[in-house]
Amino acid sequence: MTRPAARGGSRASADRLARLLNLVPYLLARPGIEIAEAAGDLGVTERQLREDLELLWVCGLPGYGPGDLIDMAFDGDRVTITYDAGIDRPLRLTPDEALALVVALRMLAETPGVANREAVERALAKIEDAAGDLVGAPVAVRLAGDSPQVRELRDAVQRGRALRITYYTAARDETTERTIDPLRMLSVGGRAYVEAWCRRAEEVRLFRADRIDAFTELAEPAAAPPRARPHDLSDGVFRPSPQLPLITLRIGRGERWITEYYPCESVEPGDGDRWLVSLRVTDLDWARRFVLGLGPNVTVVAPTELVEQVRAQAVAALDAYASPAPAAG
């Protein structure tokens, strides 16, 4: 109940800070302006503007004595800044601040899917030119999951061409050839993805860059149909839905990390320290490999089809170990 309010409060504080930073140079350029006119220009109510002016009165340079604080004069409904406490001076960065800003901008420029990449690079060039010796040697930033292929894919997507890709689908353990119309390149959870209209599936799909074994840029432009829309990935790549298979597992204490790593529909206490966990999966083949990799402290409760698949593969593995090795020729 408190988290949305906290986020809203942080947003309101950030908005007010931006407004206060703009307010002093605005008033300096318009001495004696009417509060009603200033409020209209700034898009706030007169009451909010008066509250902002009261806050400005106690802002200023360290020391915070009378000669360090912002001062203003009121004449009826008009206001004039009489002392700006140096807030009209150009911003000067320390070496650490300049370096931090350069690193942040370089990271932003390297992030797949960033809009207005050219604007980021122009801003970075201006800061590096202005900072000069402050930042020292050029800074190179590489994000997790970045690779030459990711950079080549990003460039191909920006050129707006259709791509023919060779793609490995881990859930089905198969490699397929597809022609896609890229919509965007993005980074989620430290991995790069190409979101595109897949002509084979006839819907928008996410393709992990590290599972694209090869790609060819076609001469034709990307032409996704009007109904193709990017997905909302604010909650991650995997989107559980009622159409996906629901599996239920009985897990021990050492496997409780599953409930934190995967979106679960229910977690209930079972016998002793064991839990019953239900979650959606892309398909049962992936679920079978997932369960077999967890070890003996996990038991499949449902569905029956998955129970039989896991049992059959486990028995086959045990039989393979039990069979005597063939005699040497």
Kindly report the CATH number that applies to the domain delimited by 148-221.
2.30.30
**Is 244 within 8 Å of 282 (Cβ atoms)?**
yes
The C-alpha atoms of residue 297 and residue 310 are separated, in whole angstroms, by 14
Interatomic CA distance for residues 223 and 245, integer angstroms: 33
Q: What fold, for 16-83?
A: Arc Repressor Mutant, subunit A (1.10.10)
Q: Which residues of 219-245 are buried (b: 16+ CB within 10 A; e: fewer)?
A: eeebebeeebeeeebeeeeeebeeeeb
pTM: 0.45
Tens digit of each residue's pLDDT (9 = 90 or more) over 62-82? 766 666 788 888 888 899 988
Compute the distance between CA of residue 181 and CA of residue 194 in angstroms, rounded to an integer: 10
pLDDT digits (tens, 9 = 90+) for 199-244: 998 988 889 888 999 999 999 999 999 888 887 766 666 666 777 8
Given a contact cutoff of 8 angstroms between Cβ atoms, the answer to whether 133 and 95 are in contact is no
Domain ranges of the chain: 16-83, 95-131, 148-221, 246-319
Question: How many angstroms separate the CA atoms of 211 and 237, rounded?
Answer: 15
CA 88 to chain centre: 35
Burial-class residue 130 by CB neighbours within 10 Å (0-12, 13-18, 19+).
exposed
pLDDT of residue 178: 93
Say which residues have a Cβ less than 8 Å from residue 218's Cβ, sequence separation at least 6: 161, 162, 163, 164, 179
pLDDT confidence of residue 143: 54
CATH T-level fold of 246-319: Alpha-Beta Plaits (3.30.70)
* pLDDT score at 112: 59
pLDDT per residue of the chain (329 residues) written in tens, 0 to 9: 333 344 445 456 667 777 777 788 888 888 999 999 988 888 889 898 888 888 887 777 776 666 678 888 888 889 998 887 766 655 566 677 777 777 777 777 666 555 566 777 777 777 777 666 555 555 555 555 567 888 888 888 888 899 999 998 876 778 999 999 999 888 776 778 888 999 998 988 889 888 999 999 999 999 999 888 887 766 666 666 777 889 999 998 888 888 888 888 899 987 888 899 999 987 888 888 888 888 888 899 999 999 999 899 888 888 887 766 666 65
